[in-house]
A and B are shown apart, each in its own frame.
Chain A
Amino acid sequence: MARRRTPTRSRALSGLAALALVPLTLTACSAGSLGSSSASGGGGTTITWLTGSDATAQATATSIVEAFEEANPDIDVELDGRPAGGEGDNLVKTRLQTGSMADVFDYNSGSLFQQIAPEKNLTPLGEDVVGAVEDSYLPQVSAGGDAYGVPYGTAFGGGVMYNMDVYSQLGLEVPKTWAEFVANSEAIKAAGIAPVVQTFGDTWTSQLFVLGDFHNVLAADPDWAEEYTAGNAKYATDPVAIKGFEHTQEVHDKGFQNADFASAKLEDGMRQLASGQAAMYPILSGNITTLLSVDPEAGDRIGFFALPGDDAATNGLTAWYPNAVYIPNSTTGEELEAAKKLAAFIASPEGCEAQSQAAPPTGPYLVEGCELPDDVPQVTKDVQAYFDADAQSPALEFLSPVKGPALEQITVEVGSGIRSAQDGAALYDQDVEKQAQQLGLEGW
């Protein structure tokens, strides 16, 4: 009896102790405001800004907050972090729904912005805040005639980063058509260099041939996005739109890929590109930060060109708009005023400058009066050139709310030879249908 009692009691005790610890650990989790940078000045308003928890996002936000607090000594801004990707999406949606969102947060513009029900959850911003924002950007953060956000970061392009040393050694020119792209690849392969980098270890990178080809789709049919949203245009049946899937397959079938394409990650791809082991990498120009982190000297050696279509005359860039900073309608009173000031600051030349100091810009700022610094990497200059020549179209996700979630898995299959391009495009059309139905669009 006596021997049995002791363990029972100690187990009960440890159970109690565990129970007592639960709330402690929970509070420890929620109270962790990551990298709060404020110097805790006395007596002013304090607002919280929810941003990405990765190093680049924190550094950029910190740089802005420092410049902003200097200009507004009575306002303190604290930073909070959230994960990227689907998990972060859920967090943002849940916190908006429960009215527990931070005073200011940054999030995608375009179709993802429409999914967080802006008219229900966000505070519309007046001319005093969005006055300097370029008109081309405003539709991406507007709903029902009101603008809700200011651009945060720079625009970027989806296309091909290429090693300019390899190109000049082999005497190649930047391709303006897909046929030239294939011819270049053959020449590079003959020289013993992997022509095209693919990194399916980070599945999202597999989508570039499809998503980055959208300028060419739009060049062939300017109304394609509307037709697509209405459910009339499909990838599998449109001879131009399916090209993206076909190119993904062609690169695999002709053996243009790097040997470790199935497991390589973004960093591996950048390393191969920077070292000249590989020549071309279809990727977003925004990933220049990754390139510079694996090789700080690569900025001058790596250039950028748009994914070519069939017609050299309409060659141009598929462009992505920057994320935006929003204010939820749960922010009121003094905090709301302070939040609006912060938003206006971000959409001002001082705000752009603070961002440029933290990380090199990857394309143009969409704020009037913002200039790119002179020492930007070559990739950024090449992207800017497409904007200057007005040879760019927004990516499909900015023109249509319809975007299927499984595209990256499908393009991995097409690019690994598991599934044909035709089959992959048809599968993606089915995937898209669910999204359209979830959004309650007409005609699906």
Chain B
Amino acid sequence: MATTAPAPSRTKPTTSAHRVPGRRRSPYPGWFYLPAAVVYGVLFLVPTFASFYFALTRWTIFDSEFIGLANFVQFFQEPALVKGFTNTFVYAVVTSGAKVVLGLGLGMLLTSQIVGRGYLRAVVFFPVLVSSVGVGITFQVLMHPSRGAINSALGVFGIDGPGWLVDPQLALLSVALVDVWKGVGLATLIYMAGIVSIPKEYYEAAKVDGAGSWTLFRNVIFPLSWPATSTVITLSLIGGLRSFDLIWAMTRGGPGFTSDVIASVIYKQYQAGFYGLSTAGNVILFLAVTALVLPLTRFLARKEVEL
């Protein structure tokens, strides 16, 4: 209904008033933006800018006291923070790397002519739809060192499985593994779209030139699906840097501080009632993600143009 009604009336003013085509005036007045602008302003802009101020105060839920940059000084002295930063980068790099490799592989597999393709596509994509917390709690049970299904299965083959989530060396990588399991479906989807959009002529031309499957991959598929690669890297890197829900559900940053990431360090400060400190932490996280992702997207976009 709504889409058919305005169609005839929209053509009328342009024909009668000889306006420049392309810079056509919208039939809707500007204040139509107002409701959306109010919602956006109240729920996003005001809190964001308020947080820049509150990061400079020591506030409780009842009052606040201006203390300059002391929160930032304190946050950088936080011993868990150094660990948190390292872990965050390890986590972001491991998950986005694995998603690129597995996503590309699965993307190629699922665009080729194989049996049960539709079913397999659904299976690969399914974990994306499940809530992170649910996945986290499920894997926490599966990865239990003595009662978990994973170690029981390994036990059948005589392998003494490790304490996936309680071994300080392994905890972060175990969570990263689950993150990859959960996120690879989306990466695969993006790659499938990228691979399908490569024109057939390239394949045919390459085949005529006698290219094998490796050459085909190396010189046609990989370079021409670069937009997909850059999207996957950007999305999963941002996701990895901000990752919180899965880690919190699975280890709460433990054992001790060994799988803490920036977001969980911030959350713990907030939980302890250090609101100013955690606001400062969020400002730092915001700046760190921006500083990393902006140049990266520039770089990836430039590479895209070159191709």
A→B interface (CB under 8 Å) = 5, 8-9, 12, 86, 89-90, 93-94, 97, 115, 117, 120, 200-201, 203, 260, 262-263, 405-406, 409-410, 412-413, 416, 418-419, 427, 430, 434-435, 437-438, 440
Contacts and interface: CB of A to CB of B under 8 A. Distances in A.
Contacts of B268: 405-406
A422 to B, nearest CB: 14
B65 A413 contact: no
Given A117-B62, A434-B277, A438-B273, A263 B144 contact: yes
A267 B253 CA distance: 22
B4 A5 contact: yes
A9 B256 CA distance: 52
Interface string B255-281: 111100000000011011110110000
B89 to A, nearest CB: 21
Contact of A97 (B61, B166, B277): B61
Given A120-B62, A418-B168, A440-B65, A410 B256 contact: yes
B272 A435 contact: yes
Contacts, number: 85
Contacts of B276: 438
Which of B167, B257, B273 has the most A CB atoms < 10 Å from its CB? B273
Contacts of A12: 2
Interface residues of B, number: 36
A263 B146 contact: yes
Contact of A263 (B3, B163, B257, B273): B163
B255 A200 contact: yes
B145 A260 contact: yes
14 contacts: A86-B271, A90-B271, A117-B62, A200-B255, A203-B254, A263-B144, A263-B166, A406-B272, A412-B255, A413-B255, A416-B168, A430-B79, A434-B277, A435-B274
A117 B273 CA distance: 13
A97 B254 contact: no
B4 A200 contact: no
Contacts of A409: 253-254, 256-257
B213 interface: no
Given A203-B254, A410-B256, A5 B273 contact: no
B62 A263 contact: no
A188 to B, nearest CB: 22
B61 A93 contact: yes
Interface string B156-188: 000000010111100000000000000000000
B79 to A, nearest CB: 6
Contacts of B274: 434-435, 438
Contacts of A201: 166
Nearest to B7: A1
B285 to A, nearest CB: 18
- The A interface, classified by DSSP as helix, strand, loop or mixed, is helix
Nearest to B1: A9
A405 B74 contact: no
Contacts of B167: 262
Contact of A262 (B4, B252, B255): B255
B61 A94 contact: yes
A427 B274 CA distance: 17
Contacts of A97: 61-62
A336 B123 CA distance: 59
A418 B256 contact: yes
Closest 8 CB pairs of A and B: A413-B256, A405-B272, A262-B166, A86-B271, A263-B166, A412-B256, A97-B61, A409-B256
Given A262-B145, A412-B255, A9 B163 contact: no
B186 to A, nearest CB: 21
Given A93-B61, A203-B254, A438-B60, A260 B79 contact: no
Contacts of A413: 255-258
A200 B166 contact: yes
A262 B3 contact: no
A12 to B, nearest CB: 8
B60 to A, nearest CB: 7
Contacts of B257: 406, 409, 413
Contacts of A9: 1-3
Interface string B65-93: 10000000010010110000000000000
B256 A416 contact: yes
A115 B144 contact: no
B58 interface: yes
Contacts of B166: 200-201, 262-263
A270 B164 CA distance: 24
Nearest to A414: B256
Contacts of B163: 262-263
Nearest to B58: A438
A185 to B, nearest CB: 23
A9 B5 CA distance: 13
B271 A405 contact: yes
A79 B61 CA distance: 26
A87 to B, nearest CB: 8
A438 B258 CA distance: 26
Given A263-B166, A413-B257, A8 B146 contact: no
Given A89-B273, A93-B61, A413-B257, 19 more contacts: A12-B2, A86-B272, A200-B166, A200-B254, A203-B252, A262-B145, A262-B163, A262-B166, A409-B253, A409-B256, A413-B255, A418-B255, A418-B256, A419-B256, A427-B79, A434-B74, A435-B274, A440-B58, A440-B65
Contacts of A419: 256
Nearest to A86: B271
A325 B163 CA distance: 42
A85 B74 CA distance: 25
Nearest to A264: B146
A332 to B, nearest CB: 21
